[in-house]
Structure 1
Amino acid sequence: MSFSLNEKQLASTFDKLVEAGDLLYGPSTVVHLEDKHFPVCNTLFCLSATSPYSQPTKFEFRICPALQSKPLKPTDDTPNDTPSASDDELSYDPEATFGPGSDIKRGPAAFLIETLSSTHHLIFNKFCVFRPQYMLITADSYRRQDEALDLEDLTASWKALHALPSPHFLFYNCTPQAGNSREHKHMQLAPFTLPDSGAFELFPDMAEQPEVPFVFFLQRFQGLFEFVSGKKLLNVYRTMLYKAREALEMSADAETVPHNVILTKQWFMVIPRRKADVGVKPAVNAAGMLGMVWCEEDEQLEEWKTHGPAKVLMEAGVPAS
């Protein structure tokens, strides 16, 4: 990759933005759960071999009150925005967005981390569960969140993942049914823990694969990620998106396919989605489908427990059978 990001420096900038009130971040209470209410899934379309699923679905709930100010849908807005004091020499319009078609607030100059290939901006995510989180938004502010990813999106995504030394996963919520909250086309990046760390793992990385109550499509890179290019990612993505369209029983010419994308340096996943709202809060996005649920308050965790976490994911995706 052509550039590398200094995560220590990014964390320092993040802390200053939080202190100034430009980023919303607070401590999380972490709760781990397991749910074994569904039969083993043996009918997945996988582009690489997988082992039988015999373990319960695992969940990590993070209860973070700072998320209470996060917009819930594209028409929502963030209340009580006030000018920032994070840079005494810089004044900016707190209502300004990343372009005429954008609904993502620009924030102070420090929000912008890097511009990738002139097509995407890597910025700080204003509403954070982790320290820090990032967004990768299209420079064309009229691009929309109901579009499939294209070559430029995947090239910039791969570049951003490799610019961060520590492991991160990138995810994309395509359409409101997949849990998007903004209309300006964007991907998000969040840190994750490596296998054998003792902390919560993303289920494709688990040595003993858990039950997965929904259909997903997966391509592993088998340690050959250095040979992966944007064009190769696009070819794999189109294959998985075709299968997602079939799983949703959509016509072959359907332009908009509700789905989640998750990309790491080790694998690439697409999850077809039926809906994001299944009667619990928060709405289910790509992270939620991985078992990482970011709540605003304890009551939301109780809603998930009452409904059944695995049942939530089954209803949000296409049920596995």
Structure 2
Amino acid sequence: MGNNNLDLWSKINATTINALQEKALKPIETKYQFLEEQNINFIVRILDNIQRKENAKKKQKKKQKSTEYNPFLPYEEKLYVDDLGDSHVCILNKYNVVNNHVLIITKDFEPQENLLNINDLEAFWMVLKQVSGLGFYNAGAVAGASQPHKHLQVIPFPLAPNSQGFPMENLVLNYRSKLRDGEVVTVDELPYLQAIAFTGNMEKSAKESAKITKELYHQMLEYLSIENDGKTSRGNYNLLVTKQWMMMIPRTQPKAESISINSLGFAGALLVKNEEQLEIIKQYKPLHILKKVGIEK
């Protein structure tokens, strides 16, 4: 790409500027509102042009004339940011709601239901160490994964203008003083099953951070009784990762009251297609919807 001397964050920015100019990136316009429930200031984004995303996806699928269409094999060159080790690539999310939203994809096809391995997590940390933001993984279609090809995601802070970090963070950070690093517990205030753990000082290398994360990841799968055979997970779940902590949420369905939820929903950022869906969230409240797509405590 000619940006080999740049750090990853600079490459992400440079690629974004080019991809916008080349019209390879198709940002989705949204309006947003804050909706407070139990001291959590949820961000609800309302899509202005969901139709464009859906039409473009239909066109892409037609072009491939196959239900097996995979936008990551090959990925669009104009969205390419950098290689992450030998096994992963960092690309821009084509239909982004927040600028500089990146995907970490495996170079060879691997199913999204596969458990995260040390290479996935090292690639993840290569990005998280250079991007101030939230990392997440939608493990399976029930958890909101839109593609079957294994991909992790990182979205920079803030998740909405006039906000810091993301809505669920303060609730988790309240547990910081009560927990030892590496201890897996549940957040009592939330009405659905989930587990959190603090990772400790992640000023280490991406490889070292990946080792710590992998151990906690497996502890969480066990703590939440998410069935797996050591390679593939039968249960779907969402995983959130920041520089300080991790959270895992088992899933039972992809949507509730017509609202689709992925990992960002559990970070406190919901996305709706129209004003009608916004009214549904106001009526039922965000925590009710999250509880319905997860497992009620």
Does structure 2 conserve the Cα–Cα contact (< 8 Å) formed by 1:60 and 1:200?
no
**How far is the alpha carbon of 1:185 from its aligned partner?**
0.6
Q: Distance in 2 between matches of 1:199 and 1:245?
A: 33
Is the 1:179–1:276 Cα contact (8 Å) retained in structure 2? yes
- Residue matched to 1:286: 263
- Deviation for aligned residue 1:255: 3.9
Report if aligned partners of 1:280, 1:304 keep a CA contact under 8 Å in 2.
Answer: no
Cα deviation, 1:229-248, whole Å, max 9, x if unaligned, reads 322211111000112226xx
SS of residue matched to 2:17: helix
| C-alpha contact 1:272 1:318 (8 A) present in aligned 2 | yes
Query: Which residue number in structure 2 is paired with residue 5 of structure 1?
Result: 8
Q: What SS does the corresponding residue of 2:256 show, helix, strand or coil? A: coil
1:1-321 pair list within 5 angstroms: 4-7=7-10, 10-36=12-38, 56-70=39-53, 78-81=57-60, 102-104=70-72, 106=74, 108-141=76-109, 143-164=110-131, 167-193=132-158, 198-199=163-164, 201-206=166-171, 211-226=189-204, 228-245=208-225, 255-281=233-259, 283-320=260-297
Other structure's SS at 1:189 match: strand
Spell out structure 1 runs of 4+ moving beyond 6 A: 251-254
Give 1:160 deviation, angstroms.
Answer: 1.4
**Rounded Cα–Cα distance in structure 1 between residues aligned with 2:202 and 2:148:** 34
Q: Which residue of 1 aligns with 2:178?
A: none
What value does the CA root-mean-square deviation take over the aligned residues? 3.3
8 Å contact 1:170–1:263 — kept in the other structure?
A: yes
Amino acid at match of 1:306: Q
Q: 1:182 to 1:28 in 2, by over 3 A?
A: same
> How many pairs align?
273
Distance change (3 Å), C-alpha of 1:117 and 1:273: same
Match of residue 184 from structure 2:
none
TM-score of the two chains, using structure 1 as the length reference: 0.74
Aligned partner of 1:271: which letter? I
Gap regions ≥5 residues in structure 1: 37-55, 83-93
Q: Distance in 1 between matches of 2:8 and 2:100?
A: 13
1:216 alignment partner AA: Q
Render the CA deviation track for 1:122-159: whole Å, top value 9, x for unaligned. Answer: 00001111112110011112x01111111111111111
Alpha-carbon distance in 2 for matches of 1:27, 1:136: 23
Runs of 5+ unmatched residues, structure 2: 176-186
CA distance in 2, matches of 1:265, 1:17: 28
The verdict on how the C-alpha distance between 1:20 and 1:298 changes in structure 2, with shifts beyond 3 A counting, is farther
Q: Which residue identity is paired with 1:244? A: L
Structure ranking higher on relative contact order (CA contacts 8 Å, 6+ apart) = 1
Cα shift readout 1:262-289 (whole Å, capped 9, x = no counterpart): 11111122111111121323x1100011
Q: Distance in 2 between matches of 1:306 and 1:19?
A: 41
Greater fraction of residues in helix:
2
- Looking at structure 2, the residues matched to 150 and 67 of structure 1 have their Cα atoms a distance apart, in angstroms, of 34
Moved more, 264-273 or 19-28: 19-28
Cα offset for 1:66? 4.0
Distance 2:228 2:125 in 1: 30
